[in-house]
Chain A
Amino acid sequence: MINYIWFFILSCGILIGLITGKGEVVSQSIIKAANDSVELVVGMVGLLCLWCGVMKIAEKSGLTAKLASLMEPILKRIYKSAGKDKRALGAIVMNLTANMMGLSNAATPFGIKAMEEMQDLNPNKDTASDDMALFLVMNAACIQLLPATVISLRAAAGSKNPGVIILPAIMATAIACIVGIICCKILEKFF
């Protein structure tokens, strides 16, 4: 699936760009995107390593396990095999917690850890398990308790009350998350 999407976005852009005579602009955008990706990765090394380090402390001290045990009753019911694995469940919980606090940079290492743990439980290594799909959908529609970036951007744009969107945003995501979980449970039987 990703192959087709990537091909579509790329070829569509190149084709339309070339036909409409934007060859130079498109070629500049390719060079810029390539450079940007390096900048992005280099820029995230520090924070990613920092969060990996902090995560290790959380893991060794048993904090992850403690958090997991608090969310266990709910998540255990939705995650079929990862729900029985303490480490996978712990990483899932830490990732969703970081997402809830709007720390997308912090959530990534937890998320990759969770994927690795779920891969260990996955019998078919090149195919996504039900748990992985569910995890990614919950990631895509995760409740954000404090959308900090959005609020500060609103304030910068001259909003009288930048925080008014917090409550509706939480409500919208909560419903989206529930719909996502239900969709996963239905669709996993057909794929």
Chain B
Amino acid sequence: MNYIILAIIPIIVGVVTLYGIVRGVKVYECFVEGAKDGISICIRIFPYLLAMLVAVGVFRASGSLNFFTSVMAPIVKIIGLPKEIVPLIFIKPLSGSGAMGVFTDILKQYGADTFIGITASIIMGTTETIFYTLTVYYGAIGVKKIRHTLWAAILADLTAIIMAVTLTKIMF
């Protein structure tokens, strides 16, 4: 199982190309043709990525993130979330790499098999970086009015966090 986790990328590439050649597809030409699209996608994504990373970077460097953490601590206590995890649930929707850093820090600080460590791990394993996904996906097609997307995503995110805390309490 562990080997499958490590080898999942070659497995997918292998299965898809094998399926392609069996079905009589000119796999090499087809691959090159598709790969060309990747460059234009990257160019299109870049400005959105830049905008988001700068904003989050400033927010973190100014100490605002820490300030909000301490303000939010009493509120998150209601759902039983340890305040040590607050920075993670705030950075998670904003930045994937930022969340990775905060998450690693929590594991080192409080241990991977503690209540805090397990809850943080489940949260890391559940929700995606909402703002990043919204910015990149809507940016790529030029949609500006996102309607209820953010609210529904935040509600789903909150559900995942509450479930993570609850399941950790029940199962461990």
Contacts and interface: CB of A to CB of B under 8 A. Distances in A.
B25 to A, nearest CB: 5
B121 A14 contact: no
Interface residues of B, number: 98
B164 A13 contact: no
A157 B37 CA distance: 39
A41 B49 contact: yes
Interface of A: 1-2, 5-6, 9-10, 12-17, 20, 22, 25-26, 28-30, 32-34, 36-38, 40-41, 44-45, 48-63, 99, 101-104, 106, 108-109, 111-112, 115-116, 118-119, 122, 125-128, 132-133, 136-137, 139-142, 144, 146-151, 153-154, 156-162, 164-169, 171-173, 175-177, 179-180, 183-184, 187-188, 190-191
Contacts of B108: 157
B130 interface: yes
Interface string B30-73: 11111111110110011001111111111111111001000000
Contacts of A149: 100, 124
Nearest to A10: B55
A20 B62 contact: yes
A140 B33 contact: no
Contacts of B107: 153-154, 157, 159
B16 A187 contact: no
A2 B146 contact: yes
B134 to A, nearest CB: 6
7 contacts: A13-B64, A29-B57, A34-B50, A51-B38, A109-B41, A162-B112, A169-B121
Contacts of B19: 57-58, 61, 63
B35 A50 contact: yes
B155 A183 contact: yes
Interface of B: 4-5, 8-9, 12-13, 16-17, 19-20, 22-23, 25, 27, 30-39, 41-42, 45-46, 49-64, 67, 94, 96-97, 100, 103-104, 107-108, 111-113, 117-118, 121-122, 124-128, 130-131, 133-138, 140-153, 155-157, 159-160, 163-164, 167-168, 171-172
Contacts of B30: 53, 56-57, 60
A55 B61 CA distance: 39
A157 B117 contact: yes
Contact of A52 (B41, B126, B142, B152): B41
B113 to A, nearest CB: 5
B55 A13 contact: yes
Contact of A61 (B4, B25, B53, B130): B25
Q: Which among B5, B45, B111, B147 has the highest number of chain A CB atoms within 10 Å?
A: B147
A41 B46 contact: yes
